[in-house]
Amino acid sequence: MKGRTSQFQGRPPGFIFSKEREPRERKSGPSRAGTATLHCEGLPAAQLAHRFGTPLYVYSVSAIRERLEAFERVFRKVPHTICYSVKANSNLSILKLLANTGCGFDVVSGGELARVIRADKRAAKRVVFSGVGKTRDEMRAAIRAGILLFNLESESEMRVLAEVAAGAKRTVRIAFRVNPDVPAKTHPYISTGLQKHKFGVPIGEARGLYAKASATKNLKVAGVSVHIGSQITDMKPFAASMERVAELVRELRSDGHRIEYVDAGGGLGISYEKGSSGFEGPVADYAEALLRPLRKLDVHLLLEPGRSIIAAAGILLTRVLYKKRNGTKQFLVVDSAMNDLIRPSLYQAYHEIVTIAGDGSSPNETVDVVGPVCETGDFFARDRSLPSVNEGDLLAILDAGAYGMVLASNYNTRPRPAEVLVDGKSAKVIRRRETITDLMRSEV
């Protein structure tokens, strides 16, 4: 821990290492005087683990607000709405926190829409509904809620929405999600902008589809939507896709369509390996990539950030159960597993892992950090150099706020972790830890 400052590796201010002189024994758990300890805002991580148990997801209110405010500052000169991507982290308390700031939402299922309405009914008017497989029931629910915009992904979906809207005696705003056939440098599972992907309609066919939609009763053409993937850190694909969208907007307007909105989607990535030297810089670069092609088009820009707002605002606390060696391999077996955070196993994703306390004197060792699930793929890190720890010590898996709990499962009949939201020196449970009884309650 030597040399750690109050904000380490450029992480958001919600997570800090600080030195405190405190009693060796506290009601909240043991602490070593004078050591640098990981805090979430004003609370030591060890105290949170002692109070709420592990595995434990911990989120920082200040980190969420900081990143949302960075988006608002950078895009302040253009009409825009931040529509947070609910799929990144759908906890009701987090949605309510965002809704209270005036944030909108991007949903891809009826369940996500229900979560937004539960968090704040007024937020429904700021919802865009995306996704390739909307059902009639989901469409009806969205129409009743009065959402802002449907992003359509096929001609068939357009026809079904028109029928549902007619049955509800409502006219609904629509955009087509166009597929610009722009490659994005990201994991193939989360790349969505090529014609070989299931998403969107070919941009070359868009004018014909807009003509059909415009002639369809109960549908109101209102915008153009695009989304090329997730965890993208190269701004060139964003610029290229928006150039194609801007040209389409001009063509559609020449065809007589009133295009009010451009939904730029989401996808802005973060640095999982190095943290961030400053969040507003990458957001400014992202804004430049999007806004330059849209100049003079006078559109209302819809943005769908998810990971870039919530990922760095969350950590997963886990405790070392056992240290073991198989031949030359050293393993740290922890109490969290791939069912709690599947990104390393599913995407071979990197997450920085830190010990939560120390004075810098512990030597490093090369270890695999693995969980208890009966799969070789159950790991968080392989051949990772970490300070030597003991059985019972705590580790923090960083940048776990996005696609962590939302992808958690009950594989191996493992209850999912609790989630805690920290605001200053206050911590509240925003999802209680599941029990074995919870898991079997719905079974017959």
Amino acid, res. 394: L
Which helix or strand (DSSP H or E) is residue 99 part of?
A: helix 92-99
Distance CA 294, CA 275 (A): 31
Instruction: Indicate the SS3 state at residue 296.
Output: coil
Distance CA 172, CA 384 (A): 52
| CA 154 to each of CA 160, 181, 209: distance values in angstroms, whole numbers, following the listed order | 10, 16, 9
Report the Cα 342 to chain-centroid distance in Å.
Answer: 14
Which helix or strand (DSSP H or E) is residue 52 part of?
A: helix 45-52
Residues 6+ apart with CB under 8 A from 127: 83, 104, 105, 106, 107, 113, 116, 142, 145, 147, 148, 149
Instruction: Indicate the SS3 state at residue 279.
Output: coil
Of residues 409, 403, 199, the one with CA closest to residue 310: 403
In the annotation, is 374 catalytic?
yes
Amino acid, res. 102: G
Helices (H), ranges, 148-271: 155-168, 206-214, 236-254
Distance CA 200, CA 140 (A): 21
The answer to whether the beta carbons of residues 334 and 356 sit under 8 Å apart is no
Catalytic residue among 40, 83, 103, 374: 374
Q: What are phi and psi of 48, to 5 degrees?
A: -65, -45
Distance CA 168, CA 143 (A): 8
The answer to whether the beta carbons of residues 288 and 362 sit under 8 Å apart is no
The answer to whether the beta carbons of residues 97 and 316 sit under 8 Å apart is no
Distance CA 119, CA 104 (A): 12
Distance CA 390, CA 319 (A): 10
DSSP character at residue 31? -
293 upstream amide cis, omega within 30 of 0: no
Instruction: Indicate the SS3 state at residue 97.
Output: helix
Q: What are phi and psi of 370, to 5 degrees?
A: -130, 165
Helices first, then strands: H and E counts in the chain = 12, 24
Q: Which residues are catalytic?
A: 374
